[in-house]
Amino acid sequence: MANPFVAYRMIDAQPRLEGPGGKPLIVQIVMNVECWPFDKPLPRKLLSTPYGQDPVPDIPNYSWVEYGLRTGMSRFIRGCADRGLRVGINLNSAIITEYPALAAALRDLDCEIVGHGVTQRMLFMEDDEAAVIERCLSQIEEFFGTRPRGWLGPGLAETFDTLGHLKAAGIDYVMDWVIDDFPDWLETPNGRLLSVPYGGLDMNDVAIWSNDHQSAAEYFTRVRDMVLTFEPELEERPRVLTLPLHPHVACVPHRLPALWATFDWLAAREDTVVMTGSEITDWFVAACDAAEARSAP
């Protein structure tokens, strides 16, 4: 079957829009803060187990994730605050009850909280995905005081009904659709949702460091080369460069210097602005409206 949610288009068919504040390179930094149950095997492992058996509890691999939530997030929060970086936090809402000190620290950080499920259990596994979506959004709203406008599905997974449920729940944008470097509209039975770029999957820290086993320095190399590819295109249209991260992967001591060097290099560029998903959504809608008004007879 053909894709029922978004029509195919090539780069030349994208609207020509003015970048926010005249800056065409839009950088979005997103940290995935996730809750993994202690009493289940870890689906993603750093250390393989003898004879292929999954122990429960899986102490070494659970500790890998827990290290990121304990030490990695502390360093990440401090580094973002020191640099004045406003980032997106894709949050499993169970973090609020299972890691209350971390949730409180995120509440104090200047960031955008994005719905990311209750735990890392994919929506197609749920009996009532609409209820899970609502539970996640309501828990975040109750604790942080603001209902999320954005969503990233656990594992970027959806069913044929997910987008409609998200729109009905008040979501404005999603990041599951890694199809472009430019926003696009997704059609749902309940109205349109904006697809905000989540970066190529090979720009995800899991892909670079956990799957490809690259050096810490490779992160900067990939980001730089991606920007070099964007540069001639920026003369005609903005580009969104999203950098998806995980505490236990990106925020270990031997990788943080490369991470901060990459962020500092991007922030120093005169053509670059750092934005969150909601800010990108608001810019895109306003820029499209302005372009349409200019073209009206």
Per the DSSP assignment, residues forming a β-bridge with 191 are 188
b/e per residue, 124-140, with b = 16+ CB within 10 A?
eebeebbebbbebbebb
Domain extent, residue 181, equals: 27-295
Q: Which helix (H) or strand (E) holds 242?
A: strand 239-245
Is residue 272 situated within a structural domain? yes
Is residue 17 situated within a structural domain? no
Q: How many helices (H) and strands (E) does the chain have?
A: 11, 9
Is residue 163 situated within a structural domain? yes
Is residue 19 situated within a structural domain? no
Contact between 211 and 218 under an 8 Å Cβ cutoff? The reply is: no
CA–CA gap between residue 89 and residue 182 (Å, rounded): 20
**Counted domains in the chain:** 1
CATH number of the domain within which 116 lies: 3.20.20.370
DSSP-based helix, strand, coil % in the chain, nearest 5: 45, 15, 40
- The tens place of each residue's pLDDT in the chain, 297 residues long, gives 889 999 999 999 999 999 999 999 999 999 999 999 999 888 888 878 777 788 889 999 999 999 999 999 999 999 999 999 999 999 999 999 999 999 999 999 999 999 999 999 888 788 899 999 999 999 999 999 999 999 999 999 999 999 999 999 999 999 999 999 999 999 999 999 999 999 889 999 999 999 899 999 999 999 999 999 999 999 999 999 999 999 999 999 999 999 999 999 999 999 999 999 999 999 999 999 988 877 766
Residue 138: its pLDDT value, please? 99
Is residue 20 situated within a structural domain? no
Is residue 4 situated within a structural domain? no
CA–CA gap between residue 185 and residue 92 (Å, rounded): 25
Residue 78: its pLDDT value, please? 98
Per the DSSP assignment, residues forming a β-bridge with 272 are 25
Residue 296: its pLDDT value, please? 67
